[in-house]
Chain A
Amino acid sequence: MTEWINVILQGVLTGGLYAMFAAGLALIFGVMRLVNIAHGDLIVLAAYVALLVTDSMGIGPLTSLIIVVPVMMLIGYGLQRGLLNFTLGPDILPPLLVTFGLSIIIQNGLLELFTADSRKLQAGAIEIETFRLMSGVWIGILPLIQFVVAVAVIWGLQLLFYRTALGRAFRATSDDQPVAQLMGLDTRHVFAMAMALSLAVIAIAGVFLAVRANFDPAIGPARLIFGFEAVIIGGLGSMWGTLAGGIILGVSQAIGAQIDPGWQLLAGHIVFLVILAVRPEGLFPKVSG
């Protein structure tokens, strides 16, 4: 019994990470209807930026976020203004193929710079610290921090969307781009801000990914798929939905892995496909559009 409680708790905590993968993806889809195929590779890029920062400055991975987040935000802003803004339009093909090309460029660029070796960020003693929840059930401090940060990130995004001027600009552009432009919004800037914000979330997710597990240049696409599945499970257009989607995916994978290690990923995909079959609008859809 306690064994299963442990499994499900692990799944929930991992789900926080998936929710962060998903939140960045949902954010830019919500604002500009762009699906970023390079999303997963940008998460891996953030992990390598953190690797460089921690190695060169001798600081811990969590502290390195002070540098990694702004760096990724700058990359995001530049990427949107310098490249992706030119692909947006009624045709879905250009943004899709350009971000696909970007994914190949990032993967092979990282391969060229860092080789295919597996890397990991060292967070020190905190990595193995745990506390006892009840007899036989232990929770790792680091997974717990990761989950709390994920909830905070999604709560922060929610606040930003509904309580700030930038959030209003995001929603206005999302609802009707031409009218938003008529009202004096520079949509090129709004889109770039959305991408910068998405990459800030990516930076946090990338650092936690790199502390929790080994990473190499090729693991990006699988992160994109996890994030995407969490978005669809949760329901398009809902930030809290991505958290629910991430948790459902994390728990499914944990249960699958408990039954047979080979079933970890398959269980997650199957749950995703079942939800797509019985509830294609997701579990917590906001509004269509």
Chain B
Amino acid sequence: MTQVEHATASSRIGVVLIGVALIVLAMTPLWGDRHTLHLLAEIFTYIALASLWNLLAGYAGLVSVGQQAYVGLGGYLLFALAMFGGVHPIAAILIAGPVAALVSIPVAALIFRLRGAYFAIGTWVVAEVFRLIASQIAVLGGGSGISLPAHIIINMAPSRQWREFEIYWLALALAVIVLGAIVVLLRSRHGLALTAIRDNEQAAQSNGIDVTRIKLIVYVLTAFGTAMVGGLIFLMKLRISPDTAFSVNDWTAFVIFITVIGGIGRIEGPIIGTVIFFFLRQTLADLGSLYLLMMGMVAIVVMLFAPQGLWGVIAERLGWQALPLQRRLVVADEPETGTKP
């Protein structure tokens, strides 16, 4: 009897720690002030965005520099649905996911014709097209943008405090759902295929994996998640414009930095990376463009000297995994431990 086991000692500890952290984070509105809640919600949105980009680039090998297309699409869908459809903003965010997934299918049909690095720039062109189209839509503010009308914001929740709680919990829930969905995906058959593609695409293909189909699934799922996070981001900002919605810096450069620093191709990477990113931002943001310049340098140095990122180094040295994703064969007939004669 042989079976596959995912968990290790470190992942059992990891799961318990993550569980405790989630309970504490879910209760933050009891003690945190507005500023803390807002900062944490922002951190959750970046964890979700970076985890999705990591799935796309780190596992499926689809290096996109155009995910801002879906962040912006989600944001604009929220505004359009809430302003003209009378939809509750939270419902609008939930609708934005499937709509973006639908939009992403024809987009994929086009840009999947481009390979490797050309694919990356192709995604960027698509994001630019989205941005230019958004700036042509006069009822959504055209090029200068628009604010969410006050009555929509007021009707969202009984009080301002409750609205902030709702947004906070939604951000936490989205991050948990995104991470949970990625864990489920990676533990499934598709996950095994994805890990194989990550390690060697040609070898994966020669073992009978339909690489293009899996990549398409991942691309569509990522668009789904990214648009929901985008909707939430612009519900927090309450104002949207083509330049902020489709910003390559905010929604791609930062996300790539986070993932590369934390560890690309590992689910823990984006979480660690987001914590480091926000720590640096809170301490160095006054430096303005110098801060961005340093960020670019750190990303290059990490890519050259430790391409596996911080969590990659930890995992290699210590064999840790925070979530049960590994596959180990356990042969039941032979006792794993025990004294030998």
Contact = CB atoms under 8 A, between A and B. Distances in A.
Interface of A: 33-35, 37, 83, 86-87, 92-98, 100-105, 107-109, 111-112, 221-222, 224-225, 228-229, 232, 262, 265-266, 269-270, 272-273, 276-277, 280
Interface residues of B, number: 42
Interface in B75-127: 110-111, 113-114, 116-118, 120-122, 124-126
Given A37-B121, A98-B304, A100-B253, 11 more contacts: A35-B121, A87-B304, A93-B57, A94-B304, A96-B117, A101-B300, A108-B293, A112-B293, A221-B124, A221-B248, A228-B125
Contacts of A100: 65, 253, 256, 299
B170 interface: no
B129 A266 contact: yes
Interface of A: prevailing SS = helix
A266 B135 CA distance: 11
Contact of A270 (B61, B118, B129): B129
A224 B248 CA distance: 14
B61 to A, nearest CB: 8
B107 to A, nearest CB: 9
Nearest to B57: A93
Of all A-B residue pairs in the complex, the 9 with the closest CB atoms, nearest first, are: A35-B117, A104-B296, A280-B113, A108-B289, A105-B296, A108-B293, A101-B300, A101-B296, A101-B299
Contact of B117 (A95, A102, A269): A95
A112 B288 CA distance: 9
B293 A109 contact: yes
B208 to A, nearest CB: 22
B260 interface: yes
B14 interface: no
Contact of B128 (A94, A232, A265): A265
Contacts of A229: 125
Contact of B132 (A34, A224, A266): A266
Contacts of B185: none
